[in-house]
Structure 1
């Protein structure tokens, strides 16, 4: 049955996952109600529906921390407003460390959270085991406890956002595919769908896995790619405490949460694979991917050691689903470089449920006010060069983003994939002189020079890294100015 589409809207939003519904909700809540959201199938049917639903606030930047903090606040309020329970459980979360470096990182992030007024506490190993008695404490040095963290139901939260948008006048249409964003004179002016055309003052691309191909039609680089992402759900566990905090063991590459009397545990893979290299089927809707045991065995062994109960508990659900990751691990949020009034929101790297509410609000505020509400330069789509939005590059680089999600977030951390794309004529002479190269926008440039007998390689640390004495020794002497 053909939908009765309006001929015009102030804002057209493409994609009915957590991000699209968040943008629609916040636009309508702030008074801009002439909004149309278009979803190719059903709401949440791409990636949102199978998200684990974790909501954590131990983030690495001001913007992402602000998004996550607001997401918690909204979870506590939206049911009273819409009547839709988002499934929020304020169980708290515990992030554990099994080495001194990880402990240093967690403490730094906890201090960062406190700057935003987010409660965070250090816990000794015995205190962690008291709160999470199923954990094997061997090797655990301590951890960080965040009382207001927890989990939400991704479908219920998205439904609440969509309902809140509708209540204020926004229109939400399902089973309508956007085939093209229409432009005139380097400005977005509407969309062409498989059921008609809508003119618009603003267009927001929240297409998730489809955002890259949609943007490419207009020369808008959206540097993300879907990757395979696994989680497992156990059989019912007798006497499993229902108030278990979410437990994250970054070094084991695993997280756990209680799920209706069962344990759900997911993976930050040590190896990851891109998905959809030949395109995504037109019929894709609430689909899952084949589960390949070899892809998870290394992490599964660590999980069974950290939570020994898994060794004697059956697995009810083996799940593999596609999620989008950006090429550099940062969100893609903002106005397209060469097309005004065309906004993009995507590539949030498995943090959509905890960050989607805040990210959607930021886009809405940007559209209404004409400028971003806070410094969002780290997420600016303009940072992406043309080659970085191409499939060959993304299919190598984006899986590395997934691998690095739970890896150590070192200062000066260098990527290993898709290197040596751009070299100056001085590359080989500098390499012969001991240059240790860093990468920026594909360019290989010297970060520092190693003396003879020293390998030009980063040794990461939160203290003075190995390059410091070399840079100190090689610095130019100060020139004393004559007066």
Structure 2
């Protein structure tokens, strides 16, 4: 029987001995604030309030689970990198020291290919394939030294583990860290910013007022009641498309109307444009 993953429900199912293993990735993961030195390979008690959505998703996919008993549970900590990709290659600060870690619970899936490339990397000084997106040097030291950026982006990479990555998707975490001297001036004129390597850079301008980047809200409430009001999530849903997002159509219409007005003015007697 193949493994089954339902990305809409953020749940996976696979055979494990004489049982069916059910798991997933929470959209509301909980930080472990204080790590104990002697916790290695320890486990937590399962929080059914957090795990509940996975049970609902699994029952929706495999209805018989609703009448099936629970044989055992397992709950342990998991580490995630800020962009949900492994950390590989030679450490920037220590020549000859190579890393192959940060696999975000996908080690068995990626281990074979990544192990081969890492071996080639060590022997020949560079990998055989293009491994830039996995190279640890992709992160600027100003980002890796910033605890807020690491914390927020790692949280978001876990919460969006099963999310579809759309071409116009922008991170909500780790924003407003690096801005240029014209940031406030551009913002006041309706600039909608995009994030690149921690920098807020101009993306496009909206004629409908300002669009400030809000402080990252771990659970997507943004001023609303957490886990109950998902108004902000619904607004983000408009951006989740492989086509142009809705604001593009608004801007096109606005530009067309502005162009039509200018064209009419240019053809009016007694007016110059």
The bucket for the TM-score relative to the shorter chain is: 0.7 to 0.9
Partners in 1 of 2:31 and 2:252 — Cα distance?
Answer: 38
Moved over 6 A (4+): 453-458
| Counterpart for residue 393 of structure 1 | 149
| Counterpart for residue 437 of structure 1 | 193
The structure with higher relative contact order (CA 8 Å, sep 6+) is 1
In the alignment, structure 1 residue 291 sits paired with structure 2 residue 46: yes
Say whether the 8 Å CA contact 1:448–1:467 is kept in structure 2: no
| Counterpart for residue 463 of structure 1 | 243
Partners in 2 of 1:387 and 1:315 — Cα distance?
Answer: 46
Shift of 1:403: 1.1
Count of residues in correspondence between the two structures = 229
Partners in 1 of 2:171 and 2:105 — Cα distance?
Answer: 19
Give the alignment partner of residue 20 of structure 2, picking from 246, 263, 268. 263
Partners in 2 of 1:468 and 1:369 — Cα distance?
Answer: 47
Partners in 2 of 1:294 and 1:246 — Cα distance?
Answer: 25
In the alignment, structure 1 residue 380 sits paired with structure 2 residue 135: yes
| Counterpart for residue 360 of structure 1 | 115
The one-character-per-residue Cα deviations of 1:119-148 (angstroms, maximum 9, x if unpaired) are xxxxxxxxxxxxxxxxxxxxxxxxxxxxxx
| Counterpart for residue 181 of structure 2 | 425
The one-character-per-residue Cα deviations of 1:410-467 (angstroms, maximum 9, x if unpaired) are 1132111222112222122212222111111221112111223797977231122335
| Counterpart for residue 247 of structure 1 | 4
What is the RMSD of the two structures over their aligned residues, measured on CA atoms? 2.5
Alignment of 1:335-354 (within 5 A): 335-354=90-109
What is the DSSP-based 3-state SS (H/G/I as helix, E as strand, rest coil) of the residue aligned with 1:300?
Answer: helix
The one-character-per-residue Cα deviations of 1:361-384 (angstroms, maximum 9, x if unpaired) are 111111111211111111221121
Say whether the 8 Å CA contact 1:324–1:347 is kept in structure 2: yes
List gaps (5 residues or longer) in structure 1: 1-243, 475-483
Partners in 1 of 2:76 and 2:50 — Cα distance?
Answer: 13
Name whichever structure is richer in strand by fraction.
Answer: 1
Shift of 1:471: 7.8
Give the alignment partner of residue 304 of structure 1, picking from 42, 59, 69. 59
